């Protein structure tokens, strides 16, 4: 896939780092330190991305404009706050392969998921099911269950779960298609992760969208683990909506404002029910303070509140770096770096662990999930020694070599320590 023949000795990692055109981006990020003051081996960008060193500069500009201008900052700040979120529109649209009108940065992921379901989950007695992956992230499970009961249905009969075959960890494409084919007439909404948070499996967004639409289902994706990780072409692939957070691969910082995409076929869907707020109201008349809600065209029409400028400022720092590095180059490095991690682990194959992430590089991003039956002990011990991955119950150790700031040396040293701790 990458065309690179990996080699086990450390000198291979050093040579790869020396010729990596993206290696210098590492210096643009703050690394947590070990007890002895060295950079941690940080492989946790799938959970919380590192802080770009420029974040404070972006935030300080807004703090200083707030100090100097007070309320006038809404229109007179160097970057006026009223349209501030639009500073992120073009970059966000490119990142997810959408048209600018199809995206907006707002709220947080689960809030956006609910807002999307208010509009796009329209159950009837014939078509009331929501199709999800079994073991999807808990917040998604709670959100879909609560939407089902909100509409007077029961999760027991309205929640349909896709599961891997017995003895397998990932869900097969043909099983997804078969289920959609078989149950499609009763499915109101297909809601899958772009990348499953536990296994790291990337789903075929285009194929699933096609299969769902053929059966008349609405199709949405939670891209928490896909945005900034995989190249996406949402407009062409055609799902009805998608939501994501910006604190993982997008490095926007803890609790950073999330993202939302609504396909332009719904741009003028004024008749769709939606939960409204003043920031979604047509900006031309927003400050007339009238009582009747007239939504903006496109994804912006789903906004509720004026957004946190400080959070958006932090996200801008990271998105500017993303823009400069380019998703295509990042993906090329990611394929190679993740392939290298998989290769090194395979050199130390042992019954004590197994990789559950798909081996097909097209079906995964930067994450490798390792099944270990040790109750998270090894993850804790590695963390004590400055190697940061994370543990997801019941048995999964997740590590993500992030192409923007991780090196081949990180991957090499991680595997050395991992193997040493296992034995």
Ligand X SMILES: Cc1ncc(COP(=O)(O)O)c(C=O)c1O
**Which chain residues interact with ligand X by CB under 6 A?**
108-110, 137, 139-140, 193, 197, 222, 224-225, 245, 258
Is residue 380 within a helix (H) or strand (E), and if so which, with residue range? helix 377-384
CB 372 within 8 A of CB 343: no
| Rounded Cα–Cα distance for residues 131 and 407 (Å) | 38
For the chain, the residue count is 423
User: CB of 376: closest distance to ligand X in angstroms?
Assistant: 18
User: CB of 278: closest distance to ligand X in angstroms?
Assistant: 22
Q: Rank residues 258 and 295 by Cβ distance to ligand X and give the closer one.
A: 258
List Cβ neighbours of 222 (8 Å cut-off, separation of 6 or more).
109, 113, 136, 137, 140, 191, 192, 193, 194, 242, 243, 244
Query: Please, what is the end-to-end C-alpha distance for the chain in angstroms?
Result: 31
User: CB of 193: closest distance to ligand X in angstroms?
Assistant: 5
User: CB of 109: closest distance to ligand X in angstroms?
Assistant: 4
**How many CB atoms are closer than 10 A to CB 423?**
7
User: CB of 250: closest distance to ligand X in angstroms?
Assistant: 12
Q: Rank residues 49 and 123 by Cβ distance to ligand X and give the closer one.
A: 49
| Rounded Cα–Cα distance for residues 373 and 60 (Å) | 46
Q: Rank residues 171 and 415 by Cβ distance to ligand X and give the closer one.
A: 171
Q: Rank residues 221 and 408 by Cβ distance to ligand X and give the closer one.
A: 221
Q: Rank residues 85 and 398 by Cβ distance to ligand X and give the closer one.
A: 398
User: CB of 340: closest distance to ligand X in angstroms?
Assistant: 25
**By beta-carbon distance, which residue lies closest to ligand X?**
110
Supply angle C-alpha 29, 31, 35, rounded to 5. 165
| Rounded Cα–Cα distance for residues 199 and 168 (Å) | 11
């Amino acid at each position: 896939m990458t065309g690179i023949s990996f080699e086990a000795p450390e000198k291979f990692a050093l040579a790869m780092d020396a010729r990596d055109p993206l290696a210098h981006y590492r210096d643009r990020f703050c690394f947590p330190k070990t007890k002895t003051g060295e950079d941690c081996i940080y492989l946790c960008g799938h959970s919380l991305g590192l802080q770009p060193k420029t974040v404070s500069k972006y935030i300080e500009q807004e703090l200083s404009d707030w100090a100097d201008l007070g309320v006038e900052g809404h229109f007179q700040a160097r970057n006026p706050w009223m349209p501030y979120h639009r500073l992120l529109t073009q970059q966000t649209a490119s990142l997810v392969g959408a048209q600018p009108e199809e995206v907006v940065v707002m709220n947080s992921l689960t809030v956006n998921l609910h807002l999307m379901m208010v509009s796009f989950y329209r159950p009837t007695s014939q078509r009331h099911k929501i199709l999800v992956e079994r073991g999807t992230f808990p917040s998604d499970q709670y959100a879909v269950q609560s939407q089902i009961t909100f509409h007077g249905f029961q999760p027991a009969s309205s929640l349909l779960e896709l599961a891997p075959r017995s003895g397998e960890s990932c869900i097969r494409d043909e099983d997804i298609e078969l289920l959609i084919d078989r149950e499609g007439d009763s499915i109101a909404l297909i809601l899958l992760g772009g990348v499953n948070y536990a296994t790291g499996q990337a789903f075929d967004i285009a194929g699933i969208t096609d299969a769902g639409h053929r059966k008349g289902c609405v199709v949405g994706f939670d891209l928490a683990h896909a945005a900034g990780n995989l190249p996406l072409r949402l407009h062409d692939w055609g799902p009805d909506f998608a939501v994501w957070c910006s604190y993982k691969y997008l490095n926007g910082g803890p609790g950073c404002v999330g993202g939302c995409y609504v396909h332009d076929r719904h741009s003028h869907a004024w008749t769709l029910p939606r939960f409204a707020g003043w920031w979604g109201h047509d900006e031309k008349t927003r400050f007339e303070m009238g009582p009747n809600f007239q939504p903006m065209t496109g994804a912006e029409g789903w906004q509720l509140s004026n957004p946190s400028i400080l959070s958006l400022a932090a996200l801008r720092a990271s998105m500017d770096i993303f823009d400069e590095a380019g998703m295509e180059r990042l993906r090329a490095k990611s394929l190679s770096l993740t392939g290298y991690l998989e290769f090194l682990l395979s050199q130390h194959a042992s019954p004590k662990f197994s990789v559950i992430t798909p081996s097909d590089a097209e079906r995964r991003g930067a994450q490798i999930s390792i099944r270990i039956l040790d109750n998270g002990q090894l993850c804790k011990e590695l963390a004590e020694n400055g190697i940061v991955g994370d543990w997801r119950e019941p048995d999964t150790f997740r590590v993500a070599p992030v192409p923007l700031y991780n090196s081949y040396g990180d991957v090499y040293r991680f595997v050395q320590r991992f193997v040493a701790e296992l034995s």
